[in-house]
């Protein structure tokens, strides 16, 4: 084989001009393929790393309540932080993503805005700091002025937004917005910097520190906003981390350990919620016999209480009871006034101190003042999965199933919205799933490129076939000689295929080098895209190519394989010649 390899390699030097021309054509095709792929991958990388990542993080934990995706608040930061601690060593950092829609009033002009929180003084790595700075090329003022509390509430604007609102550094901006509690609110911000946006998506938001925005948006100290997780090697790890985080966030039963009082009498109670959709109600009704009250008791806001608890409080349907419970944080006490709608009959599958609340009442209370966890004795009496009411009992929150693609994510969100859960819906998604459309876009671009370049290659390969036929014709007597000496047909075939494959390999490797040089050259040319949305595909005003070693090696292998396959048939014809016929051949 070594001998065949050496002969093939040396034969390449026999028809230098012909092989150089053919090699140049293959090199051009390879370069075009590699550059187009690198550009498509660059677009995808720009969209992911510079846009989707800032909107979503590599992995995002987000919330939705009552179909409102802007209500990014979860009442127990500890629960989310505990899950994040189990997300794995790939996590570089996780931070809250606070964003609030509103309207800003500048000097005589108003415009819709989204206030976005940034961690201006956070514990950033050098790379993160560089990336942050590359997104905020300051034209006036300073990025770090965001931390200057002496200026009221500092804010940064993109130059386009500042121009439209007619404000400059030092001017004030009035903003109106809704807090996460749906309370209308307003604030006055001070413009401390104007930046040149790195991409079109940076022109609309105005940037405050996350801490300032949390206060404005009405987050309580133990509330937590949506989470963006930054990962090491996200392309490989994002889905794995998202899966792990999803597992760690599996919800348990929502329990409100409380005290119930009526006319001066007080008794410990454990409040549970039940789902109020018709399927859940149909499940609960026959399994929860009532000693008092009627079958409509469960449909209304209010409580159904256990028979023993009703006895201790001497409660009857229609009585108003007060539910109080200690909050998990801040030493606060939660309170809820409820109307007793029904009293469970003996034998009902609930504990003696239980009261069941329709989920609307239950979640208002539960999320309103997040309760301390139940005492161990209470926890032991809680219903488990064997309880006939279990499927209808309210969980801590609803964990949305993981979606693999943008479309599936949209479908899951739609399903959950249709199901009209009253609890918070928690979603865990990696950016490659949420924005899989970008991956599809990259694939489509690659496919289009590949198809176009394959046409080019088809033409080149016609050249390969012709060259090989010419070569074989010229070397027919040589083929006869080696066959006469004792070279097998397979070795003759291998010799010609190897020769073509080596030409293709050398040429496409040269093409790859040329492509890398061309990409370096093209990406050094500054481009002013102005307001053209296609400017988002530029990085700092330059074309962005993202060649990958895997893609280059893959394309080289493809080109070599196609060339070798093309060479197969002429090579087989050469190998099938009888030695005598080949030796008789004259040009």
Partner 1 sequence: MNIIETTGLVKDYPLGKTTVHAVRGIDLAIAKGDILSIIGPSGSGKTTLLNLIGCIDTPTAGRVKIGDTDVTALDDRRVTDLRLHRIGFIFQTFNLIPVLTALENVEFPMLLMKHHSRAEIRRRAQQLLEDVGLAEYVQHRPAELSGGQRQRVAIARALVTDPDIVLADEPTANLDSVTGASILDAMREMNAKQQTTFIFSTHDANVLKYAKNIVKIKDGLIAREA
**Under the criterion CB under 8 A, does residue 11 sit at the interface with partner 1?**
yes
The residues with which 157 forms a beta bridge, in sequence order, are: 194
Judged by CB under 8 A, the chain residues 208 through 247 that form the site for partner 1 are: none
Cβ contact 194:138 at 8 Å: yes
Cβ contact 356:273 at 8 Å: yes
Nearer CB in complex with partner 1: 11/56: 11
Nearer CB in complex with partner 1: 433/499: 499
Positive or negative torsion for Cα 406, 407, 408, 410: positive
Output DSSP code: residue 121. Answer: T
Q: In 390-519, where do the E strands start and end? A: 398-399, 425-430
Nearer CB in complex with partner 1: 86/488: 488
Instruction: Kindly state the smallest distance separating residue 11's Cβ from partner 1, in Å.
Output: 6
**Under the criterion CB under 8 A, does residue 21 sit at the interface with partner 1?**
no
**Under the criterion CB under 8 A, does residue 3 sit at the interface with partner 1?**
yes
Instruction: Kindly state the smallest distance separating residue 483's Cβ from partner 1, in Å.
Output: 7
Instruction: Kindly state the smallest distance separating residue 21's Cβ from partner 1, in Å.
Output: 20
Judged by CB under 8 A, the chain residues 351 through 390 that form the site for partner 1 are: none
Instruction: Kindly state the smallest distance separating residue 403's Cβ from partner 1, in Å.
Output: 58
Cβ contact 214:225 at 8 Å: yes
Nearer CB in complex with partner 1: 11/430: 11
State the CB neighbour count (10 A cutoff) for residue 41.
19
**Under the criterion CB under 8 A, does residue 13 sit at the interface with partner 1?**
yes
In the numeric block, the tokens 């100290």 are attached to: 221
Judged by CB under 8 A, the chain residues 561 through 580 that form the site for partner 1 are: 578-580
Output DSSP code: residue 47. Answer: I
**Under the criterion CB under 8 A, does residue 586 sit at the interface with partner 1?**
no
Instruction: Kindly state the smallest distance separating residue 480's Cβ from partner 1, in Å.
Output: 8
Nearer CB in complex with partner 1: 484/534: 484
Judged by CB under 8 A, the chain residues 477 through 496 that form the site for partner 1 are: 477-478, 480-489, 491
Nearer CB in complex with partner 1: 129/473: 473
CA distance 30 to 105: 55
Nearer CB in complex with partner 1: 189/575: 575
The number of residues that bind partner 1 (CB under 8 A) is 24
185-216 burial code (b ≥16 CB/10 A, e <16): eebebbbbbbbbbbbbbbbebbbbbbbbbbeb
Phi, psi of 418 (to 5 degrees): -65, -35
Instruction: Kindly state the smallest distance separating residue 478's Cβ from partner 1, in Å.
Output: 7
285-321 burial code (b ≥16 CB/10 A, e <16): beebebebbeeebbeeebbbbbbbbbebbebebebeb
**Under the criterion CB under 8 A, does residue 171 sit at the interface with partner 1?**
no
Instruction: Kindly state the smallest distance separating residue 567's Cβ from partner 1, in Å.
Output: 18
The stretch near partner 1 (CB under 8 A) out of 3-11, 122-130, 386-394, 501-509 is 3-11
Nearer CB in complex with partner 1: 484/520: 484
**Under the criterion CB under 8 A, does residue 15 sit at the interface with partner 1?**
no
Nearer CB in complex with partner 1: 13/451: 13
**Under the criterion CB under 8 A, does residue 24 sit at the interface with partner 1?**
no
CA distance 379 to 377: 5
346-383 burial code (b ≥16 CB/10 A, e <16): eebebbebbbbbbbebbbebbbebbbeebeeebeeebb
Two tokens at 248?
A: 């760690």
The residues with which 255 forms a beta bridge, in sequence order, are: 272
Instruction: Kindly state the smallest distance separating residue 482's Cβ from partner 1, in Å.
Output: 7
- Could you give the angle at the alpha carbon of 300 between the alpha carbons of 71 and 290, nearest 5°? 130
**Under the criterion CB under 8 A, does residue 583 sit at the interface with partner 1?**
yes
Nearer CB in complex with partner 1: 19/406: 19
Nearer CB in complex with partner 1: 15/147: 15
Instruction: Kindly state the smallest distance separating residue 19's Cβ from partner 1, in Å.
Output: 13
The stretch near partner 1 (CB under 8 A) out of 83-91, 181-189, 220-228, 474-482 is 474-482
Cβ contact 395:389 at 8 Å: no
- Of the candidates 153, 154, 150, 53, the one whose C-alpha atom is nearest the C-alpha of residue 97 is 53
The stretch near partner 1 (CB under 8 A) out of 7-15, 45-53, 139-147, 519-527 is 7-15
CA 272 remoteness from chain centre: 34
Phi, psi of 335 (to 5 degrees): -135, 145
Instruction: Kindly state the smallest distance separating residue 476's Cβ from partner 1, in Å.
Output: 12
Query: By the criterion CB under 8 A, which residues form the site for partner 1?
Result: 3, 7, 10-11, 13-14, 477-478, 480-489, 491, 578-581, 583
């Amino acid at each position: 084989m070594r001998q065949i390899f050496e002969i093939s390699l040396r034969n390449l030097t026999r028809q230098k001009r012909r092989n150089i021309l053919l090699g140049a054509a293959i090199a051009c095709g390879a370069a075009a393929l590699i550059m187009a792929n690198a550009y498509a991958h660059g677009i995808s990388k720009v969209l992911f790393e510079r846009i989707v990542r800032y909107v979503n993080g590599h992995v995002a934990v987000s919330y939705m309540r009552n179909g409102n995706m802007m209500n990014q608040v979860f009442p127990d930061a500890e629960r989310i932080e505990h899950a994040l601690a189990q997300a794995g060593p790939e996590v570089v950092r996780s931070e809250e993503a606070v964003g609030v829609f509103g309207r800003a009033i500048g000097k005589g002009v108003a415009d819709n805005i989204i206030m976005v929180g940034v961690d201006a003084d956070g514990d950033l790595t050098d790379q993160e700091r560089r990336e942050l700075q590359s997104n905020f090329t300051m034209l006036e003022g300073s990025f770090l002025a965001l931390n200057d509390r002496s200026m009221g509430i500092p804010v940064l604007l993109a130059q386009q937004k500042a121009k439209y609102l007619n404000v400059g550094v030092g001017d004030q901006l009035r903003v109106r917005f809704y807090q996460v509690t749906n309370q209308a609110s307003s604030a006055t911000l001070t413009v401390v910097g104007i930046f040149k946006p790195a991409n079109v998506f940076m022109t609309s938001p105005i940037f405050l520190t996350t801490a300032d925005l949390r206060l404005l948006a009405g987050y309580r100290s133990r509330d937590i906003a949506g989470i963006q997780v930054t990962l090491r090697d996200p392309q490989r790890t994002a889905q794995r981390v998202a899966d792990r985080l999803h597992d760690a966030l599996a919800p348990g039963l929502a329990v409100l350990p409380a005290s119930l009082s009526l006319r001066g009498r007080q008794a410990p109670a454990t409040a549970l919620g039940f789902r109020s959709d018709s399927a859940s109600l149909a499940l609960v009704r026959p399994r929860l016999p009532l000693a008092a009250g009627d079958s409509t008791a469960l449909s209304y806001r209010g409580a159904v209480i256990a028979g023993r608890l009703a006895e201790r409080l001497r409660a009857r349907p229609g009585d108003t009871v007060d539910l109080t419970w200690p909050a998990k944080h801040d030493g606060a006490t939660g309170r809820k006034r409820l109307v007793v709608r029904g009293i469970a009959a003996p034998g009902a599958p609930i504990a003696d101190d239980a009261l069941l609340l329709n989920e609307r009442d239950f979640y208002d209370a539960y999320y309103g003042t997040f309760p301390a966890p139940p005492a161990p004795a209470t926890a032991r009496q809680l219903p488990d999965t064997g309880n006939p009411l279990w499927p209808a009992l309210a969980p801590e929150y609803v964990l949305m199933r993981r979606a693999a693609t943008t479309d599936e994510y949209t479908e899951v969100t739609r399903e959950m919205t249709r199901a009209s859960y009253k609890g918070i819906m928690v979603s865990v998604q990696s950016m490659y799933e949420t924005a899989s459309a970008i991956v599809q876009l990259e694939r489509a671009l690659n496919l289009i490129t590949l198809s176009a370049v394959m046409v080019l290659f088809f033409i080149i390969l016609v050249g390969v076939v012709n060259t090989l036929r010419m070569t074989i014709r010229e070397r027919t007597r040589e083929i006869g000689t080696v066959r006469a000496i004792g070279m097998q047909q397979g070795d003759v075939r291998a010799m010609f295929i190897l020769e073509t494959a080596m030409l293709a390999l050398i040429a496409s490797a040269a093409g790859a080098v040329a492509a890398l040089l061309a990409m370096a050259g093209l990406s050094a040319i500054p481009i002013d895209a102005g307001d053209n949305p296609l400017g988002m595909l530029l990085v700092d005003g330059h074309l962005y190519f993202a060649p990958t070693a895997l893609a280059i090696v893959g394309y080289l292998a493809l080109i070599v394989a196609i060339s070798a396959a093309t060479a197969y048939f002429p090579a087989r014809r050469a190998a099938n010649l009888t030695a005598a016929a080949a030796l008789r051949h004259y040009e």
